[in-house]
A = this chain, B = another copy of it.
Amino acid sequence: MQNIADYVRDTAAAAKQAFYQLAAATTAQKNTALLRLAELIEQHQTAILAANAEDMAQAAAKGLETALLERLKLTETTIAGMCEGLRQVAALPDPVGEMDEFRNRPNGLQIGKMRVPLGVIGIIYESRPNVTVDAAALCLKSGNACVLRGGSEAFNGNMAIAKLITQALRENGLPVDAVRLIENTSRESVGAMLQSPDLIDVIIPRGGKSLVARISAEAQVPVIKHLDGICHVYIDRAADTPKALDIAFNAKTSRYGTCNTIETLLIHEARAVEILPLLAEKYAEKAVELRGCVRTRNILPDIIAATEEDWDTEYLAPILAVKIVDSLTEAIAHINTHGSHHTDSIVTENYTDAQIFLRAVDSASVMVNASTRFADGFEYGLGAEIGISTDKIHVRGPVGLHGLTSQKWVVLGNGQIRT
């Protein structure tokens, strides 16, 4: 039997070759393959759900936490979402070869940029089997090959989907190695990917904090990382009450396991007495546990006291930390210190407060009067997303097609030399 590192490197080397072949694929070929994949997934929905059910049963038996089980579970709705994502990606313009920013230089050179794929993208992910489809679609459309290393808990579902991807590629004359699932879910297979900068151009981890931390520390390959989502809603002094109630409620309760869900609510002291009791009532309907600062507990005496640790915690659960602040400045400082630079929203009717918040909050997405839950590729109009980058380098926030490409400079001359 082949050792794991060799198997992973052989797979990545095959993907590299497929990447060069992909350069010759037309946009039509790529789109047809994506649409065919949507069709195949719909046709094989029963088999995919059965494979996922097997994964769910094993995960439950192993005692996986609720948030992880929620991420693992596929339903007819989530499968319909995958197929919708494929059709959206097929409908998006092909970014490869886009040329822009051409300018004439005084010496007659025309200098501009051409958009090009990154090469081979390694995706290392946990739980969510839909990543297999989203990643394959976005990489293929952007001319990249990919090596997918899913989690052991999602193995059966991933294998069922990967088989269909291979079929869609083959039927459309595309290299089947352009999307390769690593059929080994050991730690060693991740390690082998991280140590292969000659074969893999960038790694995108999708998963828990410890996975991402390990990958960042060990990778010899550039990493586009998504760390945790400690997101905030700040209810400003000038907030509109109905908007504040709707947004603070929605940003916490519409889904608990997602990274764009808020973990801390900040509220200006001038509005706390009015708004906090109304909000507490709404949260009680959903049994959200509130943990408050001292002043919050003066208003809501029945809630638990928040500790310093709460401000730095991603609960991924029906728990919300609540803090009263004296000013916009204090809110911004809290967010920049305790947040994860993911997504933060201010509720305000005041123009200047909104402008200050947008500029000063150092996060991938900054919002005014909108739920943080909108921070994703679908909602931003990118089609599916491959992750939400909390880095500043290369790409920030939801990573769609453009995040998976680079640009090269194109210089058109007629014999110019440098004097």
Contacts and interface: CB of A to CB of B under 8 A. Distances in A.
Give the size range of A's interface with the partner: 35 or more
Interface stretch (A147-155, A276-284, A368-376): A368-376
Contacts of A62: none
Copies of this protein, total:
2
Interface string A198-225: 0001100000000000001100101010
Interface string A391-419: 11110111000000011111111111111
A324 interface: no
A119 interface: yes
B111 A371 contact: no
22 contacts: A116-B392, A118-B393, A201-B392, A201-B393, A224-B393, A242-B415, A243-B414, A247-B417, A250-B418, A254-B417, A345-B411, A367-B412, A367-B413, A368-B411, A368-B412, A369-B414, A369-B415, A370-B415, A371-B417, A371-B418, A394-B394, A397-B409
Nearest to A347: B415
A158 interface: no
A410 B392 CA distance: 15
A370 B109 contact: yes
A355 B152 CA distance: 45
A91 interface: no
Contacts of A358: 114, 410
A366 interface: yes
A366 B407 CA distance: 11
B406 A374 contact: no
B407 A103 contact: no
Contacts of A408: 362-366, 396-397
A418 B103 contact: no
Interface string A213-249: 0001100101010000000000000001011001101
A102 to B, nearest CB: 11
B118 A359 contact: no
A150 B409 CA distance: 29
Contacts of A414: 243, 369
Given A380-B409, A411-B374, A119 B367 contact: no
B369 A111 contact: no
A380 B202 CA distance: 27
A73 B42 CA distance: 68
Interface string A320-345: 00000000000000000000000001
Nearest to A243: B415
